[in-house]
Amino acid sequence: MATAGSLKDTLKTRMGITNSESAARLEEIPEDLMTKCDNCGTLLVTKDWLRDLKVCSRCGYHARLSAPERIELLVDPDSFQEWDTSLAPRDPLHFPGYQEKRTAAQVKTHLKDSCVTGAATLEERPIAIGATDFRFMGGSMGSVFGEKVTRLLERALEEKRPAIMVISTGGARMQEGLLSLMQMAKTSAAVARLQNAGVPYIVVLTDPSTAGVQASFASLGDVIMAEPGATIGFTGARVIEQNLKIRLPKDFQSSEFQMEHGQLDLIVPRAKLKETITQFLGLLLD
């Protein structure tokens, strides 16, 4: 979403406003009245854009959502009870700049780390749900993230609640080194137990879903659905291009690309996610 300042600049240019009177009137427009689509640049009325769940009515671009927004989107109103709010990251490797980066992310997001988990109901069915927040250090998975996901999966197993994970991440958090890598093993092993017990586990991939997270619990859902146009993959396209000295098509690693290659069950527009998950759970369980 573009800032108000640049929006007004865009308006000025588009409308050819040069005289000071018009410019002054433009200043009176509330800052958040309009929102520019990050993909096609269309100016959208913010109120309509929010009603459309931050999906562009013109090009269908799904803007990124925060973890709290994700959860609110998918659960019954006021049903969410957050789990493990006490878990906070440390700096086991004394990694250069980690504490500063993390503190900045904490201030920005009001989150302790990049993953939010908890209990909720979905059309009155008890579920366990977690979402990752890309604003928090790229939604990266360190010890807290891995622990929260594992506890969510374990608790889902214990209480026989279907588990839902909504992904938005750049992968493992390099600032926690090997401890981050181990979260891949830990979470994948927890999924295995859920599978054995016959508790459904649903993954929703959103933009972006890549690297270490994608190569662990995010690829292990009983059903994997993705929002349209998300970037999904293991190695980033830019890295592959540099390593192999090739050019990749623009849609490489898009949801549609992954669907075509058999890596997804469904592509589901944001507005249909809740009902699709509900339907799937009903078909498995009712």
Partner 1 sequence: MLSRWLPFEKPLVEIEEQIEELKRLAARENLDLSDKVRRLEDHKRAVMEQMFAELTPWEKVQMARHPKRPYPLDYIGALCSEWLELHGDRAYGDDGAIVAGFGRFSGRAVAIVGNQKGRDTKERQERNFGQASPEGLRKAERVMELAARYGRPIISLVDTPGAACSPDAEERGISEAIAHSQLIMSQLPVPIIVVITGEGCSGGAIATALGDRVLMLEHSYYSVISPEGCASILYRDPAKAPESAEALNITAEDALRLHIIEEVIPEPLGGAHRDFGLMCKSLGATLERHLGELSQIPGPQLIEQRYARFRRLGDFEEQPSVAHPELNGNGPKEAASQLNGL
Select the residue interacting with partner 1 from 11, 26, 43, 215 (CB under 8 A). 215
User: In the window 35-94, what residues touch partner 1 (CB under 8 A)?
Assistant: 47, 50-51, 53-54, 65-66, 68-69, 71-73, 77-82, 85-90, 92-93
218 binds partner 1 (CB under 8 A): yes
Contact segment (CB under 8 A) with partner 1 among 2-10, 37-45, 95-103, 157-165 equals 95-103
Query: Closest separation between CB of residue 177 and partner 1, Å?
Result: 5
Question: How far is Cα 108 from Cα 101, in angstroms, rounded to an integer?
Answer: 11
DSSP state of 57: T
Report, in Å, the least distance between residue 3 CB and partner 1.
16
Report helix, strand or coil for 175: helix
Binders of partner 1 among 109-168, rule CB under 8 A?
A: 110-112, 116, 118, 143-144, 146-147, 150
Least distance from partner 1 to the Cβ atom of residue 231, Å: 11
The one among 12, 135, 155, 193 contacting partner 1 by CB under 8 A: 193
278 by Cβ neighbours in 10 Å (0-12 / 13-18 / 19+) ranks as middle
Beta strand extents in 161-270 (DSSP E only)? 163-169, 201-210, 223-226, 232-233, 266-267
d(CA 7, CA 148): 39
Here the tokens at position 142 are 């360190």
Based on the shown chain and the rule CB under 8 A, indicate whether residue 185 belongs to the binding site for partner 1.
Answer: yes
- Identity of the residue, 46 or 280, whose beta carbon is nearer to partner 1 in the bound complex: 46
Binding of partner 1 by 107 (CB under 8 A)? no
Task: Give the nearest distance from C-beta 203 to partner 1 in angstroms.
Answer: 11
Of 48, 40, 47, 33, the residue nearest 3 (C-alpha) = 33
Any contact of residue 196 with partner 1 (CB under 8 A)?
yes
Whose Cβ is closer to partner 1: residue 200's or residue 212's? Answer: 212
Question: Is residue 252 a contact residue for partner 1 (CB under 8 A)?
Answer: yes
Closest to partner 1 by CB, 15 vs 192, is: 192
**207 touches partner 1 by CB under 8 A:** no
Shortest separation between residue 167's beta carbon and partner 1, angstroms: 11
Binding to partner 1 by residue 269, rule CB under 8 A?
no
Cβ at position 138, least distance to partner 1 in Å = 10
Pair 4, 31: CB distance under 8 Å: yes
Q: 232-233 and 266-267 as β-strands: parallel, antiparallel, unpaired?
A: unpaired
C-alpha to C-alpha distance for 167 and 243, rounded to whole angstroms: 27
CA–CA dist 18, 35 (Å, integer): 22
Give a three-class secondary structure readout of 125-158.
Answer: EEEEEEEECCCCHHHCECHHHHHHHHHHHHHHHH
CB of 212 to partner 1, least distance (A): 6
Asked whether the beta carbons of 6 and 12 are under 8 A apart, the reply is: no
Instruction: Give the range of 13-21, 158-166, 174-182, 278-286 binding partner 1 by CB under 8 A.
Output: 174-182
Question: Closest CB to partner 1 among 26 and 43?
Answer: 43
3-class secondary structure, 119: strand
> Would you call 178 helix, strand, or coil by DSSP?
helix
| Under rule CB under 8 A, residue 103 binds partner 1 | no
Strand partners, 118: 82, 129
